[in-house]
Structure 1
Amino acid sequence: MKLKDVIMLLLLAALWGGSFLFMRIGAPVLGPLVLIELRVLLAGITLVIFALASRHRIHIVHKWWQYLILGASNAALPFTLISFAELRLDAGSAAILNATTPMFTALVAWLWVKDPFTVKKLSGVILGVIGVGILVGWGGSGHGLHLWLPASFSLIAAIFYGIAGVFSSRHFKGEKPMDMAIGQQLGASLILLPFSLAALPHELPSRVVMFSVVGLAVLCTAVAYLFYFALIQSVGPVKTLTVTFLVPVFGVLWGGLFLDEQITVRLIIGLLIILSSVALVANINSKRKGTTSSVAPEN
């Protein structure tokens, strides 16, 4: 990759890693539903403005119901689940758990479209399970007991990302990435709107929370998608998938720097094992393109 591509990859990872920081700040104050509604709505509006400014003709109405499904499976549901998880889970752990997305994508692809499930992928899945167990804690008491429920929310979110990846590969062939991003965000906004209206907070949030919402929507979602598309066009989807290894690193880093989260030995070991599982499952060196080339694998 050229230097500009490496810089863009690092910026994308930093932005997606930052999303866990902003959700950790905003979810306890606004509530997960309102926070994510604001995220997808503002991101969708930002992308529409960019598309109009760049004279891109938005073409999404012809697949309105597919965009609703994509919006639900790749944004509304996983974003909300991660926000619920971060009511009790720290940003770094949530970012690491989200790195299991390629593992679940491989399982979904195997079950849904009979994508070959090799020994390497199976080894990656087993390694991923071990990594999650170390990160959260195996025991029925102490460290792990109160973390397994929020951790399960993060893992279910990763499953939805996997479903969205396979769904998009079957229903959005030939569609422009910008249209997919806009359709996904607006579709997610429509789905979450009635639920978020019923969960509005009783008082205005602080300036820090408001900045977190803007950062989450505009930087970590809209701008991050633009970087993602640029990388897809420049270096291809396989090399772009290496962002999967960097996002949890930035998630842990931002949590430690800005939220004083502890970076423990358990956290580092869990991170390294889960990233090793991602390497086995994603098979980065493979020439075969993954099922998620048109949908962001991490956010």
Structure 2
Amino acid sequence: MSPKDLRALFLLAAIWGGSFLFMRLAVNDFGPVAFVEMRIGISALFLLAVSALMGRLAALKTHWKPIAMCGVLNVALPFYCFAYAAQTVPAGTLAVINALVPMFGALIARFWLQERLTWPRLLGMVIGIAGIIVLVYEDLSFNAQGNGWAILIAVAAPFFYGLAACYTTKFLQGVDSIAIATGSVTASALLLLPLAIWTWPDTPISNVAWVSAIAVAVLCTGIAYIIFFRLIARVGSSKTITVTFLVPLFGIFWGAAVLSEALTFSVLLGAGIVLLGTLLATGVVGRRMT
């Protein structure tokens, strides 16, 4: 990977790690549904403009049904899960939970796509789950003051991402990636629009929340998608997906630097265990063991 591509990879990780910070700053003002609609609505307009300029809209007409379903699995559901959890769960914790995506993807691919699941990859999944338990154990209470339900809902987000990845592999193989990104975000925005209008807050929304919502839409969704797909085109998907290992580090950093979230031993240990599990589950370590 060239220095230019490496800089782009770290920039992408910093942007995606910052998305959890922006969620924490905005979601309590907007509410989960309205916040998600703001995020994907603005992103849809941005991506539609980019797709039109690049001449990528034709694929939307041909494949709109599977692209819309991809939007439900890859955008609407996981974005809502993380937004709901962000009302109480620290940004750094959410970023680490997001690192479970490759594990869920590998597990679902084993049963749905009949992909081979080696023992090192299976061990990685077990280690990753153990890391999440270490990370959230102190907050895993299901009483009125606990974050147990919010954490479980957050864990559902990487499950949906993994399911979406397998769905895309099965039903959208060979379809232009920019068209998939644009169509899935647009379909999700249209789907959630009525509910967002219904749940729009009556109280005034702070300037910080507005700026955060716009930033997560344009920077963390629209621009990040373009960087992501350009990296795939330049260095391939296997190298680009290593951004998964960097996002939690930036998520923890932004949460501590901006929101003064505590860097406890359990947070650092849990994050390290999750990253080790992710390395095994994605086959990065397994390839060297076999």
Instruction: Give the structure 2 partner of residue 256 of structure 1.
Output: 256
Aligned-pair CA distance for 1:21? 0.6
1:51 CA displacement: 2.4
Q: Secondary structure at the match of 1:87?
A: coil
**Runs (5+) with no aligned partner, structure 2:** none
Matched, 1:95 2:103: no
| Partner in structure 2 of residue 243 of structure 1 | 243
**Distance (Å, rounded) in 2 between the aligned partners of 1:85 and 1:95:** 12
User: 1 CA distance for matches of 2:139 and 2:222?
Assistant: 40
Q: Does 1:28 align with 2:28?
A: yes
Superposed CA offset, 1:47-105 (max 9, x none): 11122334444420222221221111000000000111111101000010110111111
Structure 1 match to 2:155: 155
Q: How does 1:195-206 map to 2 (within 5 A)?
A: 195-206=195-206
Aligned to 1:295: none
**What is the match of residue 69 of structure 1?**
69
Contact 2:17 2:249 in 1 (8 A): yes
For 2:131 and 2:41, the matched residues in 1 are separated by 34
Give the residue type in structure 2 aligned to 1:79.
F
Structure 1 residues 212-231: aligned runs within 5 Å = 212-231=212-231
* Cα separation, 1, equivalents of 2:140 and 2:22: 30
Give the Cα–Cα distance (whole angstroms) in 2 for the partners of residues 205 and 126 of structure 1.
42
TM-score computed with the length of structure 2 as normaliser: 0.94
Q: Which residue pairs with 1:115 in the alignment?
A: 115
CA distance in 1, matches of 2:142, 2:197: 37
Deviation at 1:286, TM superposition (A): 7.9
SS at match of 1:134: helix
SS of match in other structure, 1:175: coil
Cα distance between partner residues in 2 of 1:211 and 1:172: 34
CA change 1:128–1:195 in 2 (3 A) is: same
- Is 1:51–1:58's contact at 8 Å kept on the other side of the alignment? no
Structure 2: distance between partners of 1:138 and 1:125? 21
Q: CA deviation at 1:140?
A: 7.1
Report if the CA contact (8 A) 1:51-1:57 is conserved.
yes
Instruction: State whether residues 43 and 185 of structure 2, in contact with CA within 8 Å, keep that contact through their aligned partners in structure 1.
Output: yes
5+ unaligned residues in a row in structure 1: which ranges?
Answer: 288-299
Mapping for residues 136-215 of structure 1, pairs under 5 Å: 136-137=136-137, 146-215=146-215
Moved more, 112-121 or 161-170: 112-121
Separation (CA, whole Å) in 1 of partners of 2:272 and 2:114: 29
- Per the alignment, residue 132 of structure 1 pairs with 132
Distance in 1 (alpha carbons) for counterparts of 2:43 and 2:141 = 41
**Count of aligned residue pairs for this structure pair:** 286
Write out per-residue CA displacement over residues 104-134 of structure 1, whole angstroms, 9 at most, x where no aligned residue: 1111111211211210111011101110110
Name whichever of 196-205 and 278-287 sits farther off: 278-287
Q: What RMSD, in angstroms, separates the aligned Cα atoms of the two structures?
A: 1.9
Tell me the SS of whatever aligns to 2:261.
coil
Note the C-alpha offset of 1:284: 3.1
Tell me if structure 2 keeps the 8 A contact 1:238–1:284: no
Structure 2 counterpart of 1:147, which letter? Answer: N
Give runs of aligned pairs for residues 70-85 of structure 1, distance below 5 A.
70-85=70-85
- Give the TM-score normalised by structure 1: 0.91
The answer to whether the Cα contact below 8 Å between 1:241 and 1:284 also exists between their aligned partners in 2 is no
**Closer, same or farther in 2 for the Cα pair 1:86/1:51, shift >3 Å?**
same
Q: Give the drift of 1:268.
A: 0.4
